[in-house]
Structure 1
Amino acid sequence: MTTELSPIDRAKFVAARRSCDYVESGMRVGLGTGSTAAWMVRCLGERVQAEGLDIIGVPTSSRTADLARQLGIRVASLDEVKWLDVTIDGADEFDSNLNLIKGGGGAALQEKIVATASDRMVVIADAAKEVRALGAFPLPVETVPFGWQTTQALIEETLVNMDVMGRESTLRMNDDVPFITDEGNYVLDLHLNRIGNPRQLSLVLNQIPGVVENGLFIDICDVVIVGHSDGAVELRDINAGTVADEQIDILDGDNIFAGPEA
């Protein structure tokens, strides 16, 4: 029941619920990865079951694909659908220009590919994800396993000339072994504290041999929906230049919302 959620989960839930208003029958929808995106998938699943919403979902991870199938959402690959009407996903950080850091869940590569293959990207987040400057959240960089330590050294050397406050990088681990992405790659988390020029950093990182992709999403997001624990949501549309405040009912609990996987 939504009334039993923690304040942070209520904020995620209302943002996720409002984002589903961007989805109509017949659409091809990119389905994000992470705790906030899981709420969105559950909200879409509720509409599929209750309203007969007819959509094709393109998941950005195997975890999201499994959840979507469990909820009765038709799932297809990006190669099958070619192009998407909208992608809805969470973010680890966003700034006033709607630039993002994503990839805390280890799916940044698929998330970026799916988002850029969409007419519109809608990001759902709680208010704590907004920052004045990106970089407090570690920046994920997906690398091929071969020679990853060399790639790490090249990244750290490159950071010396970048407008960042920190230059430490760590290999993401899964217990005592390296974390492996769905594409079989490693993730280096860059602890930068502040990124002065995200666009420049993104371009430079992707030129380093061994780097597959980084978690900076620049000029990709169109709308951010910020949820609050009291049911308030703020919609920021970067293209229209508008900001709108709305209220979402968080008291109509549904059995489908038993709580998303992290």
Structure 2
Amino acid sequence: MADTEGLKREAAREAVGRYVEDDMVLGLGSGSTALWVVRRLGEIISGGGLSGARGIPTSETTASLAREVGIPLLSLAEERPDITIDGVDEISPGLDAVKGLGGALLREKIVAAASRGGLVVVADDSKAVEALGTCPLPVEVEPFGYEATFESLAALGCEPELRLDDGKNGETFVTDGGHYTVDCRFSAIEDPAALEAEIKRLPGALENGLFVGMIRAAVIAGGGENGGTRVIER
């Protein structure tokens, strides 16, 4: 296992141990770090712990793994999550984040926003940044007329790029909801809340990967000189 994967697993174990209790309904995030959360929950449930715990997945990949490890699943039509645990692509000291490089940002944001106890994120130390903007900002867009949406995003001062699916000979990447994703590279994101609002005003831009004011806590596992795991709470 690579060191980074070990850190992701460490952060996931800490978050589950600290925030998850019996009978909770859990929003289950997507992406490589969130899948370690799902695996840890499955380990505990298979060992007889976390009685009554159930999950609401944010992607088909997460749902498949959750079923495999024995986590009972619900939908938002049946229940609301007590908390959601998910990964991040980058997170600032003020607990604003960019998410969505894993391709599920719309469903992730819907589930996180529906969570009564907020969103807990897990990450390795490489995802902690002083200011957002070191990675592209994903925007999930409607395929119809996406070219016009693409131009509108570029007018906000970014370099947009339509995401391709490397696993399908470079075809356009399609989300579980049937949408496209445009990865927008800004030189810096100085005001995440203002940029989020600007993007939301664009017709065809269904949702963006800025998670502003939504994160309750971040569990960050550090390597090398940083060592250990630290928890930052709002």
Match of 1:122, SS state, is: strand
Match of 1:170 in 2: 161
Structure-2 separation of matches of 1:115 and 1:148: 26
1:142 is aligned, of 140, 143, 153, to 140
Q: In the alignment, is the contact (CA less than 8 A) between 1:14 and 1:228 conserved in 2?
A: no
Partners of 1:68 and 1:112 in 2: how far apart?
A: 19
Report the Cα offset of residue 72 of structure 1.
Answer: 0.4
Segments of structure 2 that go 5 or more residues without pairing to the other structure are none
Larger CA Rg, structure 1 vs 2: 1
Matched, 1:45 2:36: no
Query: Aligned residue for 1:19?
Result: 15
Shift of 1:186: 0.3
Q: TM-score, normalised by structure 2?
A: 0.94
Give 1:65 shift: 0.2
Cα root mean square deviation, aligned: 1.1
**Residue matched to 1:154:** 152
Query: Which of these residues, 1, 4, 7, is aligned with residue 8 of structure 1?
Result: 4
* 1:134-180 deviations in Å (ceiling 9; x for gaps): 011100000000000011111111x14xxxxxx21000011321100
The SS at the match of 2:77 is helix
Q: Counterpart in 1 of 2:179?
A: 185
How many angstroms apart in 2 are the aligned matches of 1:84 and 1:135?
29
Alpha-carbon deviation of 1:60? 0.5
| Partner in structure 2 of residue 63 of structure 1 | 61
SS in 1 for 2:149: helix
- Say yes or no: does 1:220 pair with 2:217: no
Structure 2 Cα separation of the partners of residues 176 and 140 of structure 1: 18
2:208 corresponds to 1:208 = no
Q: Could you say which residue in structure 2 is the equivalent of 1:116? A: 113
The equivalent of 1:33 in structure 2 is 30
1:90 aligns with 2:90: no
Q: Is the 8 A contact 1:12 1:228 kept in 2?
A: no
Residue pair 2:89, 2:99 contacting (<8 A) in 1 also: yes
Aligned partner letter, 2:193: R
Contact kept, 8 Å, 1:45 with 1:72, in 2: the verdict is yes
Contact 1:139-1:189 at 8 Å conserved across structures: yes
Identity %: 43
Q: 1:233 aligned to 2:229?
A: yes
Does the 8 Å contact 2:90/2:99 carry over to 1? yes
Q: Which secondary structure does the structure 2 equivalent of 1:222 belong to?
A: strand
Superposition map of 1:234-253 within 5 A:
234-238=230-234
Q: Tell me if the contact between 1:172 and 1:188 (Cα under 8 Å) persists in the aligned partners.
A: yes
For residues 140 and 209 of structure 1, what CA distance do their matches in structure 2 show?
Answer: 16
1:194 and 1:127 map into 2 onto residues whose CA distance is 20
Q: Where does the alignment leave 5 or more consecutive residues of structure 1 unmatched?
A: 161-166, 239-262
Contact 1:109 1:142 in 2 (8 A): yes
Aligned residues: 226
Q: Under a length normalisation based on structure 1, what TM-score does the superposition of the two structures give?
A: 0.84
Task: Give 1:84 shift.
Answer: 1.2
